């Protein structure tokens, strides 16, 4: 199983033309992007550090995870790359109702994520925990992310209010090794800390301490995750023809269909465990590639649930989407029983069938319905959703995203469009020296509301 980490079917991904011709047309720029990726990784350029994470286990991770297991609850404080990956791993590999298990059943603390600066959710988390028996992972590479710092201040205050004499003993920061507010806090208080590698950006950081610490606390085999990522890295680094390289095929499909007017990439996993994987991928793809006028919008759709909400649009709506199905080949199963009631005889076609096979047939049917309509479809199979294959899947999508950006002449590791919004927020919240940004934000908003309608 470890030899075949995934398989990509792409015949229907290039409708209306020969697949071979389409790939040959793309080969030159994909080879250029691939060469730039590998050279950047070897030179350890800024942004390329994620490439080495599979073979560089975070120091101190195991001991820190054991320390955290002594608490009743662990709260991950972070946003974007410091929360989406954590939720993705928990959802993919953990029990769906993890916090409802007893501590004996979990053999680990309850786990919460404080990401948005929403007082409803933050206060609800506080209502579910005893701060004195809780630990807080504060993850921000810069140490200045406003939403993360707001939640950090709130929970730090909650520790002090409930009589914890040394609140820093309940806190670990995951941040830049040398600079930033959180690094200064760690030096001042002596709280535990783990570094974020300098050349790793937030959305590529899930295989660092940012994502792996909370996973290890919940009992995830992070060593197996890293091994899976490392095996995937070696496979993607092999010299094979473009038609045999699933990363290049996926990048080629995304670029070609964008150029043909399909500027939405629908990722449709057929597993509840992978619902949050779509959210993690959404940030990775959008923030890495939405720049320079280029922008393939990621859209998550869960099979089979969203067959009953979005599929009508997908089949009969505008032809502006590329569809990527994500299908696990093995999973837990339930066999549907025979119920001897006359009123239920119409359901006899389900008797004795497995729920797993039903979900697989749903995926096949939906992909076929889209292909019949001429919609471009890619089919990605992964042997199982376990730590090893999830690690490989994570690295694969990081690689594809970086390859796509570099092949387009974009920098997949910066996010200039995000920075101005941050500056406006800093100014409006009274942070110096962003006063001018606050004035501009107010002026822009006045123009938005110049003509308004209401009920």
* Active-site pick, 104, 165, 308, 332: 308
CA distances in angstroms from 9 to 168, 354, 410, listed in the order given: 51, 25, 27
Contacts 24+ apart (CB under 8 A), 104-109: 106/218, 106/219, 107/219, 108/69, 108/217, 108/218, 108/219, 109/68, 109/69, 109/71, 109/72, 109/73, 109/74, 109/134, 109/135, 109/217
Is 308 in the active site? yes
Is 235 in the active site? no
Q: How many residues does the chain have?
A: 455
- For residues 68 and 270, the answer to whether their CB atoms sit within 8 Å is no
Integer Cα distance of 141 and 79 in angstroms: 11
Alpha helices in 95-145 (DSSP H): 103-106, 119-128
- For residues 294 and 300, the answer to whether their CB atoms sit within 8 Å is no
Is 287 in the active site? yes
Task: Kindly give the confidence (pLDDT) of every residue in the chain, 455 residues in length, as a single tens digit, with 9 standing for 90 and above.
Answer: 345 799 999 999 998 878 989 899 999 999 999 999 999 999 999 999 999 999 999 999 999 999 999 999 999 999 999 999 999 999 999 999 999 999 899 999 999 999 999 999 999 999 999 999 999 999 999 998 999 999 999 999 999 999 999 999 999 999 999 999 999 999 999 999 999 999 999 999 999 999 999 999 999 999 999 999 999 999 998 888 899 999 999 999 999 999 999 999 999 999 999 999 999 999 999 999 999 899 999 999 999 999 999 999 999 999 999 999 999 999 889 999 999 899 999 999 999 999 999 999 999 999 999 999 999 999 999 999 999 999 999 999 999 999 999 999 999 999 988 888 888 998 888 998 999 998 998 989 888 888 777 77
Phi first, then psi: give them for residue 136, nearest 5 degrees: -125, 120
Query: Beta partners for 300?
Result: 267
Task: Name the residue with tokens 């990081």.
Answer: 398
Integer Cα distance of 366 and 325 in angstroms: 9
- For residues 229 and 394, the answer to whether their CB atoms sit within 8 Å is yes
**Closest C-alpha among 324, 299, 326 to residue 392:** 326
- For residues 385 and 92, the answer to whether their CB atoms sit within 8 Å is yes
Stated pTM of the model: 0.95
């Amino acid at each position: 199983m470890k030899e075949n980490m995934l398989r990509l079917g792409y015949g229907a991904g290039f409708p209306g033309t020969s697949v071979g011709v389409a790939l040959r047309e793309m080969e030159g720029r994909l080879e250029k992007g691939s060469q730039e990726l590998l050279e950047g990784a070897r030179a350890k350029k800024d942004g390329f550090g994620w490439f080495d994470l599979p073979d560089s286990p975070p120091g101190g991770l195991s001991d820190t995870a054991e320390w955290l297991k002594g608490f009743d609850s662990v709260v991950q404080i972070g946003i974007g790359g410091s929360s989406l990956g954590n939720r993705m791993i928990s959802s993919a590999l953990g029990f769906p109702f993890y916090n409802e298990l007893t501590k004996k059943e979990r053999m680990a603390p309850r786990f919460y994520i404080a990401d948005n600066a929403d007082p409803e959710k933050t206060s609800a988390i506080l209502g579910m925990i005893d701060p004195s028996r809780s630990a807080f992972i504060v993850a921000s590479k810069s140490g200045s992310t406003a939403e993360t710092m707001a939640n950090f201040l709130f929970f730090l205050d909650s520790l002090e209010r409930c009589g914890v004499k040394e609140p820093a003993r309940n806190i670990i920061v995951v941040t830049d090794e040398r600079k930033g507010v959180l690094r200064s806090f760690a030096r001042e208080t002596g709280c535990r800390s783990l570094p974020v590698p300098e050349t790793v950006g937030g959305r590529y950081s899930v295989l660092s301490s940012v994502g792996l610490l909370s996973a290890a606390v919940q009992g995830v085999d992070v060593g197996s995750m890293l091994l899976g990522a490392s095996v995937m890295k070696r496979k993607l680094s092999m010299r094979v023809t473009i038609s045999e390289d699933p990363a290049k095929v996926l990048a080629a499909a995304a670029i070609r269909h964008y150029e043909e007017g399909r500027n939405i990439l629908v990722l449709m996993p057929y597993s509840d465990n992978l619902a949050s994987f779509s959210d993690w991928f959404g940030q990775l793809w959008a923030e890495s590639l939405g720049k320079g006028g280029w922008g393939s919008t990621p859209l998550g759709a869960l099979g089979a649930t969203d067959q009953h909400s979005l599929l009508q649009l997908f089949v009969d709506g505008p032809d502006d989407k590329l569809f990527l199905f994500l299908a696990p080949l093995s999973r837990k199963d339930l066999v549907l029983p025979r119920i001897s009631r006359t009123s239920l005889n119409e359901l006899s076609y389900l008797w004795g069938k497995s729920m797993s096979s039903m979900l697989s047939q749903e995926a096949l049917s939906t992909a076929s319905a889209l292909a019949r309509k001429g919609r471009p479809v890619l089919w990605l199979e992964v042997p199982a959703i376990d730590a090893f294959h999830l690690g490989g899947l994570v690295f694969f999508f990081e690689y594809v995203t970086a390859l796509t950006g570099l092949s387009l002449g974009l920098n997949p590791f910066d996010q200039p469009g995000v920075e101005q919004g941050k500056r406006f927020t800093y100014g409006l919240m009274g942070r110096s020296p962003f006063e001018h940004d606050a004035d501009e934000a107010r002026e822009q908003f006045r123009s938005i509301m110049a003509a308004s309608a209401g009920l």
